[in-house]
Amino acid sequence: MMGWEIERKFIIGRLPGDITRTKPVNISQGYLILCKNGPELRIRSMGKRYYLTIKGEGLLKRKEIETEITKAPFNNLWLHTEGKRIEKQRYSINYGSRKIYIDEFAGKYAGLVIAEIEFPNEKQAIEFDPPPWFGKEITHNSKYRNRNMAY
C-alpha cells in the first residue's frame, strides 16, 4: 500500500495503568537499506504477519510503501539486517477517534517507551492535543527514529 505517513511521537514516562488490559504485539524490525537523511528499506514481523516497507524522507510527514510478505522471504531477508535491528512490544489503545500505538523497546533501549499517533493530514497532526500522560514530544528529533536506534 502506498501513501503518506503523518505521525507525531512522544516519550512516555510510564505505561498508562489501563494498558495492561490490551495484549501487546511483538515487533522485530530490521533495515536492509538506509540512505543518509533519505529513504529506507526495512522488514518487520508483527506477531505472525510480515512486511516489507519503503519509507521516504521526513519526520512529521513522509511517503510510505508497505507490502505484506510471507514468512519465507522475511526469514531470508532477515539475515541481511544483522546489526541493524530493533525489538519492541506494541500496545494499541483508542483515544477518542484516534489510535495510539505505544512501543516498549527491548535490548539496548529497554525502558524506553514511545507513543505514536498517525493522522490523515498535517493540519490534524498539528492541532492534536496530546493526553496529559504524554511526555516530551520527539517528532522532530531524529535520534528517536527507529532507523537510527537500530544501529
The catalytic site residues sit at 31
3-state secondary structure 60-71: CEEEEEEEEECH
| Residue 87: all three cell numbers together | 525489538
Let me know: does 16 contact 133? Beta carbons within 8 Å.
yes
Joined grid coordinates for residue 49: 504477519
Residues in the chain: 151
Question: Distances from the Cα of 53 to the Cαs of 1, 90, 95, 120, 129, in angstroms?
Answer: 9, 18, 26, 19, 29
